[in-house]
Structure 1
Amino acid sequence: MTVSARTEDYIVTDRGGIVENRHAVHAAVVDSSGKLLYYVGNPARMTLARSTAKPAQALAILETGAAERFKFDEADVALLCASHSSEDRHIARSRSMLARVPGLQESDLRCGGHPAISEEVNRAWIRSGFTPTGICNNCSAKHVGMLAGAAVLGAPFVGYERPDHPVQVRVKRVTEDLAGLGPGGGDHIAWGVDGCNLPAPAMPLKDLARTFAGFAQAADDAATDDEGKAAPVGSGSGGAEVPIKEERTRRMARIFHAMSDHPEMVGGEGRFCTLFMQAYGGGLIGKLGADGCYGVGIRASQQARRISGGGGSEGQALGLAVKIEDGSIDILYVAIMEVLEQLGIGDPDIWGKLSHFQHLERKNTMNVVTGQVTPVFEVHPVDAAI
């Protein structure tokens, strides 16, 4: 099903009532089958996922067996998915994960250091004269995880960041599977190089949303499994092998729960990803990507059933992907919360906890409010566009 992209969906910023900027908004809401339900702007916009791809990359790491081999716990798995703030807890856990992989050294990381996302951490680093190295990178745990995966596969550490390395070949295959896309013809996945030096996928926004719906659906499916099927993946021997599809569902569910149970590892103090997942209390996961990209996986609920029109008492899980055309991150958070409120995902208490992200105030250096940030879009049902 195709829809006509809307060119008038914006978030407007003004100063004294004078329009200063119009930030074009694109969003896609899909069910777990990938069916497009609602949209803003162009739901098929080819979009570099950047760090929004980390849950998919984490799944590729888990499917090597690295988490079992090196005893990565749930907080470690959450950190695999993180764009963390380089707080002490993030760096310490990344170092711990690295130390569990025989022969792995920080010098093997091909991500490099950079100023922390957290201004508080940056100020502390400056006061102490500290120079951040690769283990401080906001993507450090993902890099450690990929090197751990290389160790399990018997692949070299050198070149793990290259597209033809066995780890990246697996990441590519998993990313295509989750999005329901192949390497050629029609909708497809293209690849660039991310800020942390790893391959970064680009895909239509609606297919990025499908990826996140898949993680939420896996959490629901795993929760309904019989108790006898709930043994950890890769645990022990003796007895029939767990079917591949079931293994993937459990690993995806593990990633969902790791992120929702340890949101402090995914972002950090005061960060949107962390506060967002805390506010929704396990009902969803969310992941930021650089330059204004975001993915949300929403578990099935009565609210989701109303949106999807799905059968049964709860309906299907949902996925939401959002892109701000000019890459603005603060405008991105406004858009996410506006879409969810328009769809009725959440309640006034939840939205209230996150209102400072949705209802921005523009202030000058004297703390005087100088303008407004106003969404001027509506979330459109697909049927209305046919």
Structure 2
Amino acid sequence: MAAAEMVEFWRGGLLESTHRGHAVVCDQAGEVVQAWGDPGRVIFPRSSCKMLQALPLLESGAADAAGLSDAHIALSCASHQGAALHVNMASRWLADLGLGEADLRCGSHEPYDRTERDRLILAQEAPCQLHNNCSGKHSGFLTTTRHLKAGPEYVELDHPLQKAIKAATEEVTDETAAGYGIDGCSAPNFAMSVAGLARGMAKFAAADQSGSVRDRAMHRLTRSMAAHPELVAGEGRACTELMRAMGGRVAIKTGAEAVFIAIIPEKKLGIALKIEDGNSRASEAALVAILAQLGVLDAAHPMAQKRLPAPQTNCRGLTVGELRLASGFV
């Protein structure tokens, strides 16, 4: 099946670009409620699946043994900005485990947060692994690894942690992984269909805190993300701003190359979305459209309007174009 036209960019009254993609809404029974494009399209979920990768942290008992708060759980699902808030929390987390920055295996990059970036420049300091947007996830990985008494190379495919993540991923999505790739943070990323990812998110949406060990883990992960949106991404980011706009009723998470998921507990629905050309402005706009259609996001909210319709400005602040929904999408 072909990708569906989802989002358009207009400039000067003419259509300049069209973004095509695939999206699925699943219910708690795993049934496809709505779909655009090809539900069977195999994708790398990238960072949109961090709550799947965090399941062993909770299911193994590692989180409770380490006394992790819901804020820690939210950070374990984060693609954060590397702001002082994120860096300091990850640093304290590792210190409490008797570990340090050198134990991480995510690599370092310049923080996305401008205040922290400028601080490093003025102090003539180099960014470290704590600034990596995945340092919270890797802190969770180290917590689980220590609890399992496993070796330090926790991103290797044959490590007990990655074996547990693969098993949990396949069980929750009801799919055998279609393969794997190495993510930007060096961890394996298991491929799945868009429908499988949506099916998994619907299970998170339906999870009950009085259910099985997995249900309780999924419930806590979802609620922790929604309760701490500032930790999941950061100021100015779509995940943080849209979760705030929905008052903590929905957990959402982006991934590189224009992947997005949403978990909607009140409707027991899961959403997965992939824009073919990897454009994040389009994935944000498409997700806003679907959430608004489902009645969980007010399309008139400023944080929704910021993304759809999204006026595009140039370096002088002039409005030069606009993102719009493609005809027939939602």
Flag whether TM exceeds 0.5 (same fold).
yes
Match of 1:270 in 2: 236
Q: Secondary structure at the match of 1:37?
A: strand
Q: 1:17 to 1:91 in 2, by over 3 A?
A: same
Q: Secondary structure at the match of 2:212?
A: helix
CA distance in 1, matches of 2:192, 2:39: 11
Q: Which amino acid aligns with 2:308?
A: Q
CA distance in 1, matches of 2:146, 2:202: 31
How far does the alpha carbon of each residue in 1:262-319 deviate from its partner, in whole angstroms, 9 at most, with x for none?
111101112111111111112210011011001100113xxx4xxxxxxxxxxxx001
Q: Which amino acid aligns with 1:190?
A: G
Question: Which deviates more from structure 2 when the two are superposed, residues 128-137 or residues 339-348?
Answer: 339-348
Q: Does 1:200 align with 2:189?
A: yes
How far does the alpha carbon of each residue in 1:223-262 deviate from its partner, in whole angstroms, 9 at most, with x for none?
xx4xxxxxxxxxxxxxxxxxxx611111111111111111
CA distance in 2, matches of 1:156, 1:372: 51
Q: 1:41 to 1:58 in 2, by over 3 A?
A: same
Count, aligned residues: 330
Structure 2 unaligned regions, length at least 5: none
Larger Rg: 1
Match of 1:144 in 2: 139
Q: Secondary structure at the match of 2:54?
A: helix
Instruction: Select the residue among 307, 311, 315 that pairs with 1:357.
Output: 307
Instruction: Select the residue among 248, 251, 261 that pairs with 1:282.
Output: 248
Q: Secondary structure at the match of 1:291?
A: coil
Q: Does 1:327 align with 2:266?
A: no
Q: How does 1:1-386 map to 2 (within 5 A)?
A: 5-102=1-98, 104-157=99-152, 159-182=153-176, 188-218=177-207, 221-222=208-209, 225=210, 246-300=212-266, 304=267, 317-348=268-299, 351-379=301-329
Match of 1:384 in 2: none
Contact 1:193 1:199 in 2 (8 A): yes
| 1:346, distance to aligned residue in structure 2 (A) | 3.1
Q: Secondary structure at the match of 1:9?
A: strand
Q: 1:65 to 1:290 in 2, by over 3 A?
A: same
Contact 2:3 2:36 in 1 (8 A): no
Match of 1:314 in 2: none
| 1:10, distance to aligned residue in structure 2 (A) | 3.2
Q: Secondary structure at the match of 2:274?
A: strand
Q: Which amino acid aligns with 2:310?
A: L
| 1:352, distance to aligned residue in structure 2 (A) | 4.0
Q: Which amino acid aligns with 1:297?
A: I
| 1:341, distance to aligned residue in structure 2 (A) | 2.1
How far does the alpha carbon of each residue in 1:155-175 deviate from its partner, in whole angstroms, 9 at most, with x for none?
111x21101000110010111
How far does the alpha carbon of each residue in 1:148-193 deviate from its partner, in whole angstroms, 9 at most, with x for none?
1111111111x211010001100101111111113xxxxx432110
- Identical residues among aligned pairs (%): 35
CA distance in 2, matches of 1:101, 1:144: 9
TM-score after normalising by structure 1: 0.81
Structure 1 unaligned regions, length at least 5: 183-187, 226-244, 305-316, 381-386
Contact 1:285 1:297 in 2 (8 A): yes
| 1:14, distance to aligned residue in structure 2 (A) | 2.5
Contact 1:6 1:40 in 2 (8 A): no
Contact 1:342 1:379 in 2 (8 A): no
TM-score after normalising by structure 2: 0.95
